[in-house]
């Protein structure tokens, strides 16, 4: 950062490069809200590209007053192909906007965007989809089964909302502050360190929740019924491990219900 210049209102470094830096990152609040809908126009062609462009638009707006042609080129680039974990998309959006204000060559900005897709996708999926989300949901399931009523559900939504908003804000601000060096900044941040923590937590919480849920859903049933439930569950696990994702939960569930109906019809 040249001269460690800091924006006194947003706490962000002033942009450098050939373009005049904005006094502050105006529009960052709107960009943050728009990041919550980064997958709103998801398509197989550009994936989150349009959503990322929509989120970047308020931040790019000051460029229009400086150089209309440069602004339109930046808008076009901001809506090109992009895909990452939606919670971390702000890192790429912020870094790209910063690179545009820094006046970096278009190809370099495109390469930055492309290079961020895989790591932000993999890291975000491990932290959120395979870590924090199943962990929090499983803990809420356990809380309900232990008699917490609707409170664990309310806590689940409140905690995750805080995490989601905090992460989105952190991601956008980090991206805007880092620009082209966002990859290095992310590597040194809390994100990679979170992976080995949330994964085991998710595994532990899922293990905890399953028997509690079963006990809550089957309070007093005959031993034969419990054995039947366990046979169905074991069959589902066996098929799932053997055939992989070809046996989805929906397919196996409908199959189990169909066989139960057939059994009832035969034995009635």
Partner 1 sequence: MSAALATMGLAPGVLLLLLGWGTLVGLDLVSWPQLLLARPLVAGTVAGLLLGDVEAGLRVGLLLELFALDVLAVGAVRYPDYGPATVGAVVLAAFAPWETGLGLATALALPVAAVGGWTMQWVRHANARALQRATDALAAGDPRAVRRLQAGGLARDALRALGLTALALVLAIAARTWVQPDPATGRLLTLAAVGAALAAVANGALRIAGRGPRLGWLAAGLGLGLVLAAVLAGVLAGGLA
Please list every residue from 209 through 268 that binds partner 1, using CB under 8 A. Answer: 209-221, 225, 228-237, 239-241, 248-250, 252-257, 259-261, 263-264
Tell me the window of 16-24, 108-116, 186-194, 197-205 that interacts with partner 1 (CB under 8 A).
Answer: 197-205
The CA distance from 39 to 36, in Å, is 8
Site string for partner 1, 126-155 (x = CB under 8 A): ---xx--xx-xxx-xxx-xxx--xx--x--
CA distances from 29 to 25, 36, 96, 160, 165 (A): 9, 12, 17, 20, 12
d(CA 246, CA 252): 10
Q: Which is nearer to partner 1, 5 or 122 (CB)?
A: 122
User: What is the Cα–Cα distance from 202 to 18, expressed in whole angstroms?
Assistant: 47
Q: Taking CB under 8 A as the rule, does residue 166 contact partner 1?
A: no
Nearer to partner 1, 5 or 226 (CB): 226
Residue placing its CB nearer to partner 1 in the complex, 25 or 128: 128
What is the C-alpha to C-alpha distance for residues 151 and 191, in angstroms, rounded to an integer? 29
Asked if residue 157 binds partner 1 (CB under 8 A), the reply is yes
Q: Spell out where 10-168 has E strands.
A: none
CB 15 to partner 1: min, Å: 20
Q: Does the protein bind partner 1 through residue 57 (CB under 8 A)?
A: yes
Beta carbons of 149 and 83 less than 8 angstroms apart = no
Q: Is 120 in the site for partner 1 (CB under 8 A)?
A: no
Compare residues 43 and 187 and give the one whose CB is closer to partner 1. 43
State the angle between helix axes of 151-178 and 28-35 in degrees (0 to 180), rounded to the nearest 10: 130
The 8-class DSSP code of residue 131 comes to I
User: Among residues 5, 37, 115, 188, which is the contact residue for partner 1, using CB under 8 A?
Assistant: 37
Q: Name the residue nearer to partner 1 (CB basis): 4 or 150.
A: 150
Indicate whether 205 belongs to the interface with partner 1 (CB under 8 A).
Answer: yes
CA 238, CA 228: separation in Å to the nearest integer?
15
């Amino acid at each position: 950062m040249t001269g460690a210049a800091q924006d006194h209102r947003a706490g962000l470094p002033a942009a450098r490069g050939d373009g005049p830096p904005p006094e502050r990152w105006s529009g960052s609040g709107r960009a943050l809200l728009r990041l919550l809908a980064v997958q709103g126009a998801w398509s197989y062609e550009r994936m989150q590209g349009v959503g990322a462009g929509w989120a970047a638009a308020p931040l790019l707006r000051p460029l229009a007053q400086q150089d209309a042609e440069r602004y339109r080129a930046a808008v076009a680039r901001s809506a090109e192909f992009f895909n990452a974990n939606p919670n971390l998309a702000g890192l790429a959006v912020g870094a790209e906007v910063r690179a545009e204000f820094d006046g970096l060559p278009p190809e370099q900005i495109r390469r930055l965007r492309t290079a961020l897709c895989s790591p932000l996708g993999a890291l975000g999926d491990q932290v959120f989809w395979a870590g924090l989300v199943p962990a929090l949901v499983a803990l809420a399931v356990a809380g309900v089964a232990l008699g917490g009523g609707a409170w664990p559900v309310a806590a689940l939504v409140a905690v995750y909302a805080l995490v989601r908003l905090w992460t989105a804000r952190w991601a956008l601000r980090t991206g805007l502050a880092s620009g082209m060096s966002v990859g290095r900044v992310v590597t040194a941040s809390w994100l990679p360190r979170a992976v080995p923590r949330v994964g085991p937590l998710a595994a532990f919480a899922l293990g905890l929740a399953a028997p509690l849920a079963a006990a809550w859903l089957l309070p007093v049933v005959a031993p034969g019924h419990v054995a039947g439930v366990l046979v169905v569950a074991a069959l589902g696990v066996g098929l799932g491990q053997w055939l992989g994702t070809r046996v989805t939960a929906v397919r196996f569930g409908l199959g189990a219900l169909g066989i139960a109906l057939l059994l009832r019809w035969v034995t009635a």
